[in-house]
């Protein structure tokens, strides 16, 4: 069965390129294109698509407004959001409103189409309880990255966020960074594993250098200010993932 897609973007050029990219994938079908937020909401309610590609900088009603309107919908579409500007607030609000992927523009529409197909090939649509769990993980991850001062505009933020969410559901990947985790994150963002590794390390270094002002003490304990050496990526992930898992188990 084909997956029905609505594109909400005010750039005609981007829409045309994405439509052509999606035509290369038999299981994906564009059923509507909206050029502003109000039209997007009407189209989503009428067509009930499986997936929404949403530009956060829409006219009349912005992308976050659209997300708020459809957040309580039954069978809400999987959302891939795009934006030329991603701030801490936008990243956090998008995650809280259930955005599955947040991509910085300009982006390769062929890569975007492949990510969309991989989502459906590798994951059947989740039940409501599973969706709630995923949203909670996304929210906790975003909140932690904000608290520990990882800037949302750097690539390492997005790679680290994805890595943490993967590791929360499968902690074994922390012991297989090079062979499993980095390649998995790289496939999501259509980049090289080595670039993922460097960007994540850079993001951790920024957070560690700001440890006296941010919330790292909460995770690493009182010894955080006495350590001169930065934690390894595996150690950093293990501490953050353990915190999220314990929070998830708390009634």
Residue range 89-103, pLDDT digits in tens: 777 778 788 888 888
Note the Cα 195 to chain centre separation in Å.
Answer: 18
* pLDDT, tens digit (0-9, with 9 covering 90-100), for 167-191: 888 888 899 999 989 998 888 888 8
pLDDT band at 125 (very low <50, low <70, confident <90, very high): very low
Query: Which of 125, 152, 187 marks a domain boundary?
Result: 125
**Is residue 74 located within the same domain as residue 121?**
yes
CATH number of the domain bearing residue 11: 3.40.50.2300
Rounded to an integer, what distance in angstroms lies between the CA atom of residue 38 and that of residue 40?
Answer: 5
- Contact assessment for residue 36 and residue 9, using Cβ atoms and an 8 Å cutoff: no
**Is residue 10 located within the same domain as residue 117?**
yes
**Is residue 191 located within the same domain as residue 227?**
yes
Give the DSSP letter of residue 172: G
- Contact assessment for residue 6 and residue 46, using Cβ atoms and an 8 Å cutoff: no
Residue 61: domain span: 3-125
Q: In total, how many domains does the chain have?
A: 2
Phi, psi of 4 (to 5 degrees): -85, 130
Higher per-residue confidence, 121 vs 134: 121
Helix axes 88-96, 63-70, angle to 10 degrees: 20
**Is residue 234 located within the same domain as residue 150?**
yes
Mean pLDDT of 29-48: 93
Q: What is the structure's pLDDT at 182? A: 93
- Mean pLDDT over the full length of the chain: 83
Q: What is the structure's pLDDT at 188? A: 80
Rounded to an integer, what distance in angstroms lies between the CA atom of residue 94 and that of residue 89?
Answer: 8
With 0.75 as the threshold, say if the pTM is over it: no
Give the DSSP letter of residue 98: T
Rounded to an integer, what distance in angstroms lies between the CA atom of residue 113 and that of residue 18?
Answer: 7
Query: Which of 94, 125, 156 marks a domain boundary?
Result: 125
* pLDDT, tens digit (0-9, with 9 covering 90-100), for 210-251: 876 656 666 666 444 455 567 889 988 988 888 888 887 765
Q: What is the structure's pLDDT at 41? A: 94
Structure tokens at 95: 């995650």
Q: With H, G, I as helix, E, B as strand and everything else as coil, classify residue 204.
A: helix
Query: Which of 103, 125, 147 marks a domain boundary?
Result: 125
Q: How many other β-carbons are positioned within 10 Å of the β-carbon of residue 244? A: 20
* pLDDT, tens digit (0-9, with 9 covering 90-100), for 6-25: 999 989 999 999 999 999 88
pLDDT at 109 over 50: yes
Q: Provide the edge-to-edge strand list for the sheet that holds 51-55.
A: 28-34, 3-8, 51-55, 78-83, 99-104
- Contact assessment for residue 92 and residue 144, using Cβ atoms and an 8 Å cutoff: no
- Contact assessment for residue 91 and residue 44, using Cβ atoms and an 8 Å cutoff: no
83 DSSP β-pair partners: 104
Structure tokens at 222: 């009182």
């Amino acid at each position: 069965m084909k997956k029905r897609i609505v594109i909400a973007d005010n750039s005609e050029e981007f829409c045309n390129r994405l439509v052509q990219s999606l035509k290369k994938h038999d299981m994906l079908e564009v059923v509507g294109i909206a050029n502003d937020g109000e039209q997007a909401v009407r189209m989503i309610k009428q067509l009930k698509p499986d997936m929404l590609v949403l530009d956060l900088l829409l006219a009349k009603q912005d992308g976050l407004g659209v997300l708020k309107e459809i957040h309580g919908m039954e069978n809400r579409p999987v959302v891939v959001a795009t934006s030329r500007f991603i701030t801490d607030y936008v990243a956090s609000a998008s995650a809280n409103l259930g955005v599955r992927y947040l991509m910085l523009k300009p982006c390769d529409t062929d890569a975007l189409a492949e990510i969309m197909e991989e989502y459906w090939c590798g994951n059947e649509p989740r039940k409501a309880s599973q969706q709630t769990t995923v949203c909670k993980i996304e929210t906790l991850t975003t909140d932690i990255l904000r608290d520990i001062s990882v800037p949302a505009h750097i690539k390492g933020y997005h790679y680290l966020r994805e890595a943490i969410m993967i590791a929360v559901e499968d902690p074994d990947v922390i012991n297989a960074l090079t062979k499993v985790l980095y390649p998995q994150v790289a496939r999501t963002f259509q980049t090289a594993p080595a670039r993922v590794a460097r960007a994540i390390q850079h993001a951790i270094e920024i957070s560690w250098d700001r440890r006296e002002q941010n919330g790292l003490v909460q995770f690493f304990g009182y010894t955080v200010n006495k350590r001169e050496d930065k934690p390894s990526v595996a150690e950093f992930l293990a501490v953050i993932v353990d915190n999220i898992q314990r929070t998830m188990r708390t009634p």
